Structure 1
Amino acid sequence: MSSPSRPLAYLFLAASMSLVGSYVALSKPLAAAFPVLLLAWLRFAIGALAMLGWLRRPPDEPALTRQTRALLFLHALLGNFLFTVFMIYGVSLTSATSAGVLMASIPACVALMSWLFLGERVAPRTWAAVACAVLGIALFALSQPEHEAVASQGLGPQNALDSQWLGYLLLLAASVCEGAYSVIGKKLTGTLGPRRITALINLWGLALATPAGVWLALQHDFSAVPPGTWLLLVFYALTACMWSVWLWMTGLKAVPAAQAGVFTVLLPVSAALVGVLALGERLSALQALAFAIALASVLLATLPAGTARRAAR
């Protein structure tokens, strides 16, 4: 597929991040029905079946080199497998709104990785974005309603607090994985088409999840899973493995990675909205303030310099 026009690429990027935010939130009820690694394996298996036709190499696409294979593996390991495991465990220990705010640190993660691994100069406003992300995360983590929500799961006060902070750390790890996913994805779009990238990294994810997934599947009581949960699983798998990845990779072909990062603002917004509207979670005033600060970090990290200066004035 040739590169889309710039407006169409923007639409693809916006749709991708909105879908990612929705499945981040919807993974919470799925994690209650399936063990995390089993859920990851089922997700990749459904995605692999749906994308069998995408594995074939187009005539105008070069053969895979050793470097491309290594990048595909890293892309799948960090952006598919580990992101899925960290995100699902993190959401199960906290809430969908927590995931929404913590995922707002992704653009700052991309900026840090660009500085560390690509030797790019990072503007002072990007470091300010990192500070905003940390402040937003701290405010959200210390908000009282969140403590009460985790404590209500039947854990003791100290165990609930430990569980909550473990969830935050896992969600932060998922953000780092998603940042690496964006950086590696931009590199891959220079040689491979979006559909083939999507199918190949999903296949790697399936391979990584299969040992634990098969072992857990043999012990799980699938008859206890209601039909509605199966439908949600299919939607989650197709959204996470196929639609959101293809949309993002297609948009990246026409938009620079830093500019594409602006659209990650829709991930936390979508996750929080689904958490509040569909899962019955509440957003306190302090959490809303934390959300606003975290979103400010997204804008500081991703807006073009001229736009950022005008917005600051």
Structure 2
Amino acid sequence: MQSSPTSTSPRAATPWLAYACLALSTSLVGSYVGLSKVLLLSFPVFLLAWLRFGLAALLMLPWLRRGPGEAPLDGRHRRLLFLESFLGNFLFSICLLFGLQHSSAVVAGVILAGIPAAVALLSRVLLKERQTARVWAGIALGVAGIALVALERTPAGSPAASSWLGIGLLLGAVFCEASYVVIGKKLTAQVSAKRISALINLWGLALVTPLGLWQATRFDFSQPSLPIWGLLLFYAAAASMVTVWLWMSGLRKVPAGQAGVFMVFLPVATALVGLLLGEHLSGGQAWAYGLALAGVLLATLPGRRQG
């Protein structure tokens, strides 16, 4: 697949709306990653994932219909939809939720900061996209910024609150998310963003239902409070519906490697949720987040026009 002209031609219009969709999508992902630790105090992992997919499936029923002028799905696109859901929805959610149970937020921030680099690598190998020096520099700034803030937050002499299992699960989540971006780029060429969101959510529901039902039979549904149920509804709508639609809408106009840079908003938003929950932002952390945002600007702002 050839790269989008938005990244190769200095005279092409800058897709600001697409950039906004990508930034908002990953910011919402980061917010529910932070809030998911609250939900994990009330729900076991598989039940939480099952309730998320089930609630989102009800919300997205109207999105399942094929739009006017949209071609029927062929075997290749059905396989891509399954892989998109298995890697980007089901496996990413499981790796992330279990990884958060076995890892500190500091280590999670460092590892999730590797998503842009993983996206650039996979888009180069699988999509044959040629990344510009500015995109690679933007990725480096984003990774450096989030790694810096994570390391800066580690108290001197404190024990590592992470296991190798947690680190491995979070690394798995990184490459699941990178695969989600690359496969999504192939899907958006033929399938609408809304229909992609609804179909991959249904696959996620089907995959997690056996494990979800198993945990549901052992769960006391009267235990969670009303605010927790409200947070679960937000989690379902944000994680399966809104963020996927925003991401696929933006991905239609932006090459996968460049879109991957916007993944820096994920750990940034997670940290901001931490601030809302009572954490403090130091000067070093502010500089680190500035580096991450500078990376996004470097990779997305239009270059100087020639002649």
Q: Same fold (TM over 0.5)?
A: yes
Unaligned runs of 5+ in 1: 152-156, 308-313
The whole-number CA distance in structure 2 between the counterparts of 1:97 and 1:32 is 19
Residue 100 of structure 2 corresponds to: 91
Residue 251 of structure 2 corresponds to: 252
**C-alpha distance 127-9 of structure 1, shift in aligned 2 (>3 A):** closer
Q: Compute the displacement of 1:281 (Å).
A: 3.4
- Would you say 1:81 and 2:90 are equivalent positions? yes
- Would you say 1:37 and 2:46 are equivalent positions? yes
Choose between structure 1 and 2: higher helix proportion: 1
Residue 226 of structure 2 corresponds to: 227
**C-alpha distance 304-107 of structure 1, shift in aligned 2 (>3 A):** farther
Residue identity in the other structure for 2:101:
S
Unaligned runs of 5+ in 2: 1-13
Residue 176 of structure 2 corresponds to: 177
Asked if the contact 1:35–1:216 (Cα under 8 Å) also holds between the matched residues in 2, the reply is yes
Residue 241 of structure 1 corresponds to: 240
Residue identity in the other structure for 1:225:
P
Q: Compute the displacement of 1:22 (Å).
A: 0.7
Residue 118 of structure 1 corresponds to: 127
The whole-number CA distance in structure 1 between the counterparts of 2:107 and 2:297 is 19
Aligned equivalent of 2:278, options 277, 280, 304: 280
Q: CA RMSD in A?
A: 3.1
Residue 102 of structure 1 corresponds to: 111
Post-superposition CA distance 1:114-139 (Å, at most 9, x none)? 23333445567777777777767776
Q: How many residues align?
A: 291
Residue identity in the other structure for 1:280:
G
Asked if the contact 1:147–1:161 (Cα under 8 Å) also holds between the matched residues in 2, the reply is no
Asked if the contact 2:32–2:235 (Cα under 8 Å) also holds between the matched residues in 1, the reply is yes
Asked if the contact 2:89–2:201 (Cα under 8 Å) also holds between the matched residues in 1, the reply is yes
The whole-number CA distance in structure 1 between the counterparts of 2:289 and 2:107 is 9
The whole-number CA distance in structure 2 between the counterparts of 1:54 and 1:247 is 14
Residue identity in the other structure for 1:281:
E
SS in structure 1 of the partner of residue 253 of structure 2: coil
- Would you say 1:64 and 2:73 are equivalent positions? yes
TM-score by length of 1: 0.79
Asked if the contact 1:76–1:205 (Cα under 8 Å) also holds between the matched residues in 2, the reply is yes
**C-alpha distance 103-161 of structure 1, shift in aligned 2 (>3 A):** closer
Asked if the contact 1:109–1:176 (Cα under 8 Å) also holds between the matched residues in 2, the reply is yes
Asked if the contact 1:198–1:245 (Cα under 8 Å) also holds between the matched residues in 2, the reply is yes
Asked if the contact 2:56–2:201 (Cα under 8 Å) also holds between the matched residues in 1, the reply is yes
Residue 262 of structure 1 corresponds to: 261
Asked if the contact 1:97–1:275 (Cα under 8 Å) also holds between the matched residues in 2, the reply is no
**C-alpha distance 252-118 of structure 1, shift in aligned 2 (>3 A):** closer
Percent identical residues = 56
